[in-house]
Chain A
Amino acid sequence: MTTDHDTDTRLLMRPLNWLETQSEAVFAYVLLAPAFLLLGVVALYPLVRTFQFSLLADQVSAPAPLGGVVGLDNYADLLTGRALLSQQFVDPTFETPLLQQALFVTVAFAVLSVLFETLLGFGQALVLDQDFRGRRWVRVAIIIPYAIPIVIQAMIFFLIFNPTIGFGTEFMQSIGAFGSNPLASSSDSFLIVLVADIWKTSAFMALLILAGLQSVDRGLYDVAKVSGASAWQQFKYITLPLVAPALLVAMLFRTMDAMRIYGLIDATAGCQTVPSLSCLVITSVFGTRRWATASAVAFLTAVVIGLLVAVYLFTLRNREVGMT
């Protein structure tokens, strides 16, 4: 028994001992291998394949969904509005090409949600930055929406705006904003999804802004007070400029995340009612079996997000250069 055990250990130790004798660089690469294997299989390789697929032809009824190489035709069809995708009704006349609808929905959602989340998140951060009794519990209450599953967030707003049991529809109708069945109307559903997202993710902005607020030197406020600055002036000339870098990073993260919106839409109004870019990918794969077109949409989404990130990073960098 003991000898068996010994050989077992020795077998186990052999690769470890081999690793001991290698240079630091080899050691580093070996340790990084599992991480890059995982990222490679799930992210990097599929991304390349997505681009490859997008260059092939759709075969809606053939056994294999992907046909021969057609080059950039799928992109051309999408951008000129010739692509045959399941019809949507943001534009009831069916004249707006689908990609434009999806692009409009996604960008509008990203801009509006990030804007409101930044404002509300800033408010929450300012509250959490104070010292008061029960601060810990207020913080828990504010974080909880951020930590709940997307499907439950969707369920809550599905129920609130359900015409039979929810109070939301009645209220919105009384101020004249909603039609009779909001979860079947594109513009009403868009608002519902927007409100649901703001409810959940303002907390994320709040946490990142709070981190920025707490790194501000409190001495600056004393100086401002002695110089007779009002609270608004303190906010404008001390808080805002010093928090700006953290704010921009937080906005970058939120924008990337908002551009991926799928689950919330799928579980409330459905992808047909509010077509986002991610929704379009899924409906093209499962709804119409147009894999190549779906890949083209997916790759375009990635490109749009990539461009956005580039713009943000560029702004951040310019700010840093300007400050030093």
Chain B
Amino acid sequence: MSDDRQPGPAGVDRTDEPDIDRGLVEAWAARMISNPERAYRAAFYVATGFFLVTTLFPFFWLLIVAITPRGDLSDIGVFTPGGTPRAEVTIPLLEWTLAVPTGVPADVNAAAFFEIFDPNVVPFHWYIFNSFLIATVATVVVLFVASLAGYVFGRLEFRGRNPLLLLVLVTSFFPPAAFFVPLNRMFNANLEVLKPLLQDGSLYNTPYAIFIPLSALYLPLSIFILMTFYAQIPEGLEDAARVEGTTRLGALFRVIVPLSAPGVATAGVLTFITVYNEYFFSSLMTDKQFQNWAPMLAGLLKFQGQYQVLYDLMAAASIVAVLPVTILVIVAQEKIVSGLTAGAVKE
């Protein structure tokens, strides 16, 4: 497919000019001019390197902060942890001074990665647990509800299909702030109905206050993804299942959903990641205590707010909290890519 766009090394060599006696830079420039393909290759490598460095460097630097001992925090360099022996080197002509590392830092350690779980500081593992629970429940709810809706929109013809689909689309346009004031009031109200289930009858400080709004807000994306997948299952398979004696719902969950497994996985992975990553409702619907189901972000902000100078703990907690999604991205990158593009293209 792309062979014709990238001539092999043999092709490049043949178009090279014979070796005239030139300076290094001049020779390189001459080769670029005589063979533009080569210039494009060079540009490609430069661009790739640039994007790799800009996207990954912040994580590397976070690690540097996390392993720096607390006393050396103000000494952290761009590439080296605090406490590294450095020597000032002045670059001639430019008059810039650079601190070049001259040795290995002595005291770097991973203590911060243990201290973040200290119950006397911030029990970060409980916050992570809350986040996992909320994200898992939201994913299950979204997958079930979106499966029903995706089946209807993808496979059934009925009056009002297009207006209803438009309504789903429109709700995903609005900012969460547009729903916040009434929802906040609703979730803080003490409802008699809920008294037997919840202590004071209000949803504030319960996982419901986070996963109900989030399930609804991320429902449209899953509906659009599942709709496309369910629509592709041949009519005959569903009919065959019906002839075998299953109900229409049985056919949906026994035939269509299993056959659309990649689509369901895509919707599931995306919902899990977006709920885990969400900020708005996650930060506003609890009082940020882990006993009250506050998610991961509340724990992380505790390091930032209460303990102003524990930068190493902030960095360590960030690395721990980012690991689950990073692993998900590495394992399921095809699904994430196809899901994001399918969702957007549909709409």
Interface positions of A (Cβ within 8 A of B): 16-17, 19-20, 24-25, 27-29, 31-32, 34-36, 38-39, 41-47, 49-50, 53, 123-124, 126-127, 130-131, 136, 138-145, 147-152, 155-160, 162, 164-167, 199, 203-204, 207-208, 210-211, 218, 221-222, 225, 230-231, 246, 249-250, 253, 256, 259-260, 262-264, 266-267, 277-278, 281-282, 285, 291, 294-295, 297-299, 301-302, 305-306, 309
Contact residue among A126, A159, A246, A295 (Cβ-Cβ distance under 8 Å from B311): A159
Contact residue among B2, B36, B65, B220 (Cβ-Cβ distance under 8 Å from A165): B65
Query: B51 contacts A144, CB within 8 Å?
Result: no
Interface residues of B in 159-185 (CB under 8 A from A): 159, 161, 164, 167-168, 171, 173-185
Contacts of B24 in A (CB 8 A): none
Contacts of B156 in A (CB 8 A): 24, 27-28
Contact residue among B44, B164, B336, B341 (Cβ-Cβ distance under 8 Å from A147): B336
Interface residues of B in 5-23 (CB under 8 A from A): 5-6
Contacts of A19 in B (CB 8 A): 247-249
Query: A150 contacts B279, CB within 8 Å?
Result: yes
Query: B48 contacts A138, CB within 8 Å?
Result: yes
Contacts of B171 in A (CB 8 A): 39, 43-44
Please count how many residues in chain B sit with their CB below 8 Å of the partner chain's CB atoms: 101
Query: B175 contacts A302, CB within 8 Å?
Result: yes
- What are 11 sample pairs from A and B whose C-beta atoms fall under 8 A apart? A27-B156, A38-B212, A44-B171, A138-B51, A142-B52, A147-B277, A152-B322, A155-B315, A159-B62, A159-B311, A263-B279
Contacts of B291 in A (CB 8 A): none
Q: Does B25 contact A (CB under 8 A)?
A: no
Known: A156-B58, A309-B173. 9 other contacts (CB 8 A): A16-B247, A38-B216, A41-B212, A46-B179, A150-B277, A150-B297, A159-B62, A285-B180, A306-B173
Contacts of B219 in A (CB 8 A): 35, 38-39
How many residue-residue contacts, CB under 8 A, span A and B?
288
| C-alpha spacing A32/B178, complex, angstroms | 24
Q: Given A231-B36, A262-B280: A124 and B325 within 8 A (CB)?
A: no
Cβ of B90 to closest chain A Cβ, rounded Å: 15
Q: Given A20-B247, A127-B48, A249-B344: A151 and B55 within 8 A (CB)?
A: no
Q: Does B326 contact A (CB under 8 A)?
A: yes
Query: A34 contacts B344, CB within 8 Å?
Result: no
| C-alpha spacing A27/B249, complex, angstroms | 10
By beta carbon, the residue of chain B nearest A38 is B216
Query: B311 contacts A42, CB within 8 Å?
Result: no
Contacts of B176 in A (CB 8 A): 260, 262, 278
Cβ of B282 to closest chain A Cβ, rounded Å: 8
Cβ of A230 to closest chain B Cβ, rounded Å: 8
Query: B178 contacts A147, CB within 8 Å?
Result: no
Cβ of B179 to closest chain A Cβ, rounded Å: 4
By beta carbon, the residue of chain A nearest B146 is A35
Contact residue among A25, A42, A167, A259 (Cβ-Cβ distance under 8 Å from B179): A42
Contacts of A126 in B (CB 8 A): 47
Cβ of A303 to closest chain B Cβ, rounded Å: 9
Q: Given A41-B212, A139-B333: A208 and B217 within 8 A (CB)?
A: no
Interface positions of B (Cβ within 8 A of A): 1-2, 4-6, 36, 40, 44, 47-48, 51-52, 54-56, 58-59, 61-62, 65, 73-74, 76-78, 82, 144-146, 148-149, 151-152, 156-159, 161, 164, 167-168, 171, 173-186, 212-213, 215-217, 219-220, 223, 247-250, 273, 276-280, 283-284, 296-297, 300-301, 304, 309, 311, 314-315, 318, 321-322, 325-326, 328-330, 333, 336-337, 340-341, 344-345, 347
Contacts of B180 in A (CB 8 A): 46, 281-282, 285, 298
Query: A138 contacts B146, CB within 8 Å?
Result: no
Contacts of A17 in B (CB 8 A): 247
By beta carbon, the residue of chain A nearest B338 is A211
Query: B4 contacts A147, CB within 8 Å?
Result: no
Contacts of B220 in A (CB 8 A): 39
Cβ of A211 to closest chain B Cβ, rounded Å: 4
Query: B321 contacts A149, CB within 8 Å?
Result: yes
Contacts of B52 in A (CB 8 A): 138, 141-142
Q: Given A45-B182, A199-B58: A148 and B322 within 8 A (CB)?
A: yes
Query: B78 contacts A47, CB within 8 Å?
Result: no
Contact residue among B54, B149, B283 (Cβ-Cβ distance under 8 Å from A32): B149
| C-alpha spacing A38/B213, complex, angstroms | 8
**Across the A-B interface, the 9 shortest Cβ-Cβ residue pairs:** A263-B279, A42-B216, A49-B182, A151-B297, A46-B179, A35-B149, A260-B175, A211-B341, A149-B277
Contacts of A253 in B (CB 8 A): 344
| C-alpha spacing A291/B182, complex, angstroms | 9
By beta carbon, the residue of chain B nearest A276 is B177
Contacts of A38 in B (CB 8 A): 145, 212, 215-216, 219
Query: A143 contacts B337, CB within 8 Å?
Result: yes
By beta carbon, the residue of chain B nearest A306 is B173
| C-alpha spacing A138/B333, complex, angstroms | 11
Query: A24 contacts B157, CB within 8 Å?
Result: yes
Contact residue among B174, B181, B301 (Cβ-Cβ distance under 8 Å from A294): B181
Contacts of B175 in A (CB 8 A): 256, 259-260, 277-278, 298, 301-302, 305
Query: B304 contacts A282, CB within 8 Å?
Result: no
| C-alpha spacing A157/B183, complex, angstroms | 31
Contacts of B151 in A (CB 8 A): 31
Query: A152 contacts B321, CB within 8 Å?
Result: yes
Q: Given A28-B158, A32-B164, A160-B61: A208 and B341 within 8 A (CB)?
A: yes
Query: B280 contacts A211, CB within 8 Å?
Result: no
Cβ of A17 to closest chain B Cβ, rounded Å: 7
Q: Given A28-B158, A44-B171: A16 and B249 within 8 A (CB)?
A: yes
Contact residue among A140, A155, A208 (Cβ-Cβ distance under 8 Å from B300): A155
